[in-house]
Amino acid sequence: MAPAPPPPPICLPFTGKKPRRRLSFSSAQPGGSPYTSSSYSGSGSFTASQLSRHQSYSSQGTVPVKRGVEPTRDIDALTFYSDSEKYDDIPTDTLPTLPSGKGKKDKPKLVRSNTMTGTKKSKWGYGWGIGKKNKEKEAEAEREAAEKAPSISSGTNLPMYESPRVMPVRSNTKTTQMSKMTGMTAMTGTTAQTLARSNTRDTQNTMQSHHSKASRSTQNTQNTQNSQNSRRPSQRSHHSSHSKVLPMRPRFEAADSSSTLVGSALERKINPEESVTELVDTTDRLNELRALMMKEKEPLQFYIVPTEDAHGSEYVSQSDQRRKFITGFTGSAGQAIITMDAAFLITDSRYWIQAQQQLDSNWTLVRAGGPGNPKDWIEWLVEHPQITNSRIGIDGRMISYEKATLVNSKLASRGTKLVYPIQNLVDIVWKEKPAKSREPVFLHPIEFTGEHASSKLARLRDWIRSQPPDVSQYSRSQEPSSSKINIATLITSLDAIAWLLNMRGSDIPFNPLFHAYLFVGLDRAVLFLEEPKANEEVKGYLQSIGVERRNYTEIWAFLRNREWNSQGKIIISPQTSYTISLVLTHFRCTVLPSYVEHMMAVKNEVELEGLRRAYLRDGVCYVRFLAWLEDKINQGYDVTEWEAAHRLTEFRRKAKHFMGLAYENISASGPNAALPHYSPKKYETDMIARNAPYLNDSGGQYLDGTCDTTRTVHFGRPDPDQCEAYTRVLQGHIAIDSAVFPEGTSGHQLDVLARRALWKDGLNYLHGTGHGFGSYLTVHEGPQGFSSNVALVPGHVVTNEPGFYNAGKWGMRIESALIVRRCKTRGNFNGDIWLGFERLTCVPIQTRMVKESMLTKEEKQWLKDHNARCYDTLMPYLKDDKRAANWLRRESQRQIGLANPAPGGLTVDWG
């Protein structure tokens, strides 16, 4: 019998002597203040300065220093390299398919890997998982880098790590290093808050340390104080009984690398298109609005300000953000209702905490769907005690026919009704309202749409002809009159217009849409679009498909004058604005579900192929990002949520067909991850914690598809509660992904599969399990979804995103995109009616938080197969990016869960 193999080496991460590092915006002078009069002022303006590493003090110096001699400050080149990004041209033979694994030498083997750091084992007593060479070689490399004057051929420097204006505070964090509290004195001369980390753990159980106004606190320090231009001997530490002069840490400066930064990345980072969120005083705005309510011919007792625009859009342009203006609340959902003596914001659970932070004292938050609360604003309004015999004002363009009809029917018995002032009252109060966008529209090529606009229009006209005339069942007439026959449809939904005409625009944030109305008759089509938006190419294209163009505002005269010149009825959808239905009157319109919405929801093969390619490219970017983030955190850097989101966007910018983000980045750590729609701002962001899950929900807009991906990862050792919750979420994710169901099954019927595992432990989530999405359109699209009763059919695409949120502590979500496909079953009962899902998303699922004992055999195999598939699919595009390739290989090989603690509580992670 061969002898047993030797035990693996024990990695003791807490024995490292290398201090933690933090990337921040600092002055170039040694010991200088990170904020100076030139770099920061009370007015909130910033000037780029050099990126530097702050000095740190340690009882065991990292650089030998002679007493009385100023230490040398070596330059530590900061590089974010990924060698090459050449993965634009994707060969057709490498599209995502489930690999068989036969005959492949590079097939990953499942072995226990280093789950603490995800890196090679470090030498005994040097760092934790950093795996670098000895200090002398590192110092020599730093000096060589200092002698070279780094520059970028394009003339654009790397983005500099800039400290947020309102600095985040990390509290009670766990890392593999253990320290006692470090503190920081307030900086003078500026109003900026300083970054402080409290109650952290570090290798050196250090005593409390302080820096003066010109410095910031660092990890691995003694109890020291540092003046602006001089250093003083440190106080006694735990390790030494003698005071000694401590060396400075070398500065960081930008290095000659632009592998993850393209175009004006530096400018985007220093000057992001965002501002500091401030609490808005709405007193004057509300007083003006109430005065206008009283000036109405018959005074209003209530006034409703919806989030939506005249087209019912989820995201609206700046000129349509009326609810944001009147409330100060920036969330994407919610209704404002103003009375003469109060103001209310009604929003769902996604935005309760955000709304409470952003609303001033004039507003009362109504938590829709909460215990004992109404489910929505309509229910709240109907149950309001002062609603009897009241007049409720609202802009009729901003409420749909469906909702207005419902509200009026509920209020009729109370002697109350909706009224529609001629002018929007918020627009009168909003003196500096932005102008409407005049960005030009552009054509979306057939290579991405798979069908000509003329073909789509023909299909729509066939549907109009097929609709029965609007004849009462009590009518005695045998033949319907011409006035009862449906002859046209009016489309008001912006994504439906863009899809139908194969055109895109830039009027709505994150959505390639443009403001327009579209009238489609049996022999005529009219697009109501502003003149400046249509260039000669667009005008010629519209003429070629038989669509005439008129100005956007001419829609109202067109409807009032019945300029279609024939008798008959116009079909509108329930989501059409109520004002349009009033102009047409019920004698001239028929309300039916939108047929275009159903057309665009069923993707053709070209669109599906485009989505596969888009998700493949997006997966490559996501893997590069996760590899970068883990690498920086394992090296001891502090990375903010905003910086992580910014870096992922920069990776995506280099991808082929990238057109922007599909929605605002959700990059959240710790308590922020418990907010399903939290989005960090540059000056209002936290550090990514090592003792809590980090959640990233983001996606790119590509010419061939819209992406939406969420992954939750952990950079330390998760606690049992986190592991159990994450495993339950993963089980729900797997249950949806592997579901097989017959035709006629709706997403709502499958929704319980995603929640079943969570329900077992009394856990749940309040948002939907998934939604449809577009092909270079909106991220929320179509009638299908796991909250919808619409039957799923082949060609539908839907997201699968169960989650769990531990309020005030942490949150987690796993999201992948799916295509509804026909599948073969063994029994094939009742014929070829069985459906299942094809997974589009190709990003590994981290196994560190998975509790293996909770998974079934099938669930374990699903997880291993998914990560192996990601390896086989993505590796060809990462061969010249060593960091990302190593990360992907490690994640695909990593076994499920963490190694159990050794005797005595020693935790060992396998490399």
CA–CA separation, 695 and 714 (whole Å): 9
Q: Taking the CB of residue 356, how many other CB atoms lie within 10 A of it?
A: 13
CA–CA separation, 24 and 29 (whole Å): 14
CA–CA separation, 36 and 40 (whole Å): 6
Three-state DSSP class for residue 577: strand
pLDDT at 623 over 60: yes
* Distance, first Cα to last Cα, the chain: 27
Average pLDDT over residues 743-760: 97
Report how far apart, in Å, the C-alpha atoms of 398 and of each of 308, 321, 323, 420, 793 are. 6, 12, 11, 10, 32
* Residues 772/601, Cβ–Cβ less than 8 Å: yes
CA–CA separation, 440 and 505 (whole Å): 7
3-state secondary structure 644-658: HHHHHHHHHHCCCCE
Query: Which tops the pLDDT comparison, 709 or 181?
Result: 709
Domains and CATH numbers, the chain: 20-80+112-118+135-271 (no CATH), 283-429 (3.40.350.10), 442-471+480-601 (3.40.350.10), 607-893 (3.90.230.10)
Condensed to tens digits (0 to 9), the pLDDT of residues 98-117 reads 444 444 444 444 444 444 44
Average pLDDT over residues 362-378: 91
Residue corresponding to tokens 């796993």? 814
pLDDT at 209 over 80: no
User: Of 628, 602, 761, 604, nearest to 696 (Cα)?
Assistant: 628
Average pLDDT over residues 338-356: 91
Average pLDDT over residues 75-87: 36
Query: Which tops the pLDDT comparison, 93 or 761?
Result: 761
CA–CA separation, 16 and 203 (whole Å): 7
Q: How far is CA 911 from the centre of its chain?
A: 32
* Residues 364/345, Cβ–Cβ less than 8 Å: yes
Work out the pLDDT band at 567, boundaries 50, 70, 90. confident
pLDDT at 687 over 50: yes
Least confident of 14-28, 296-310, 598-612, 773-787: 14-28
pLDDT of residue 305: 96
pLDDT at 487 over 80: yes
- The 8-class DSSP code of residue 673 comes to G
CA–CA separation, 822 and 792 (whole Å): 11
CA–CA separation, 67 and 76 (whole Å): 24
pLDDT at 220 over 50: no
Determine the number of helices (DSSP H) and then strands (DSSP E) in the chain: 21, 34
Q: How many CA atoms within 13 Å lie on the side-chain side of 295?
A: 11
pLDDT at 273 over 60: yes
Query: Which tops the pLDDT comparison, 337 or 199?
Result: 337
Three-state DSSP class for residue 36: coil
pLDDT of residue 349: 83
pLDDT at 130 over 60: no
Work out the pLDDT band at 136, boundaries 50, 70, 90. low
Q: Taking the CB of residue 480, how many other CB atoms lie within 10 A of it?
A: 13
CA–CA separation, 134 and 614 (whole Å): 43
pLDDT of residue 882: 95
pLDDT of residue 2: 45
pLDDT of residue 715: 94
pLDDT at 208 over 50: no
CA–CA separation, 906 and 911 (whole Å): 16
CA–CA separation, 303 and 293 (whole Å): 8
Condensed to tens digits (0 to 9), the pLDDT of residues 771-827 reads 999 999 999 998 999 999 999 999 999 999 999 999 999 999 999 999 999 998 888
pLDDT of residue 264: 55
Condensed to tens digits (0 to 9), the pLDDT of residues 47-64 reads 333 333 333 333 333 333
pLDDT of residue 745: 97
Query: Which tops the pLDDT comparison, 198 or 135?
Result: 135
* Residues 577/494, Cβ–Cβ less than 8 Å: no
pLDDT of residue 70: 44
Sheet order of strands, 694-698 included: 666-669, 694-698, 709-713
Q: What percent of the chain has pLDDT over 90?
A: 58
Radius of gyration for the chain, computed over Cα atoms and rounded to the nearest angstrom = 30
Condensed to tens digits (0 to 9), the pLDDT of residues 860-892 reads 999 999 999 999 999 999 988 999 999 999 999
* Residues 318/434, Cβ–Cβ less than 8 Å: yes
Length of the chain: 911
Query: Which tops the pLDDT comparison, 642 or 902?
Result: 642
CA–CA separation, 460 and 571 (whole Å): 12
pLDDT of residue 140: 59
Residue 274 token pair: 């965002």
Q: What is the mean pLDDT of the chain?
A: 77
Average pLDDT over residues 76-102: 40
Three-state DSSP class for residue 192: coil
Residue corresponding to tokens 């729900």? 732
- The 8-class DSSP code of residue 346 comes to E
Condensed to tens digits (0 to 9), the pLDDT of residues 425-480 reads 999 999 999 999 999 999 999 999 999 999 999 999 999 999 998 776 655 566 77
CA–CA separation, 768 and 350 (whole Å): 11
Work out the pLDDT band at 331, boundaries 50, 70, 90. confident
CA–CA separation, 402 and 666 (whole Å): 32
Three-state DSSP class for residue 758: helix
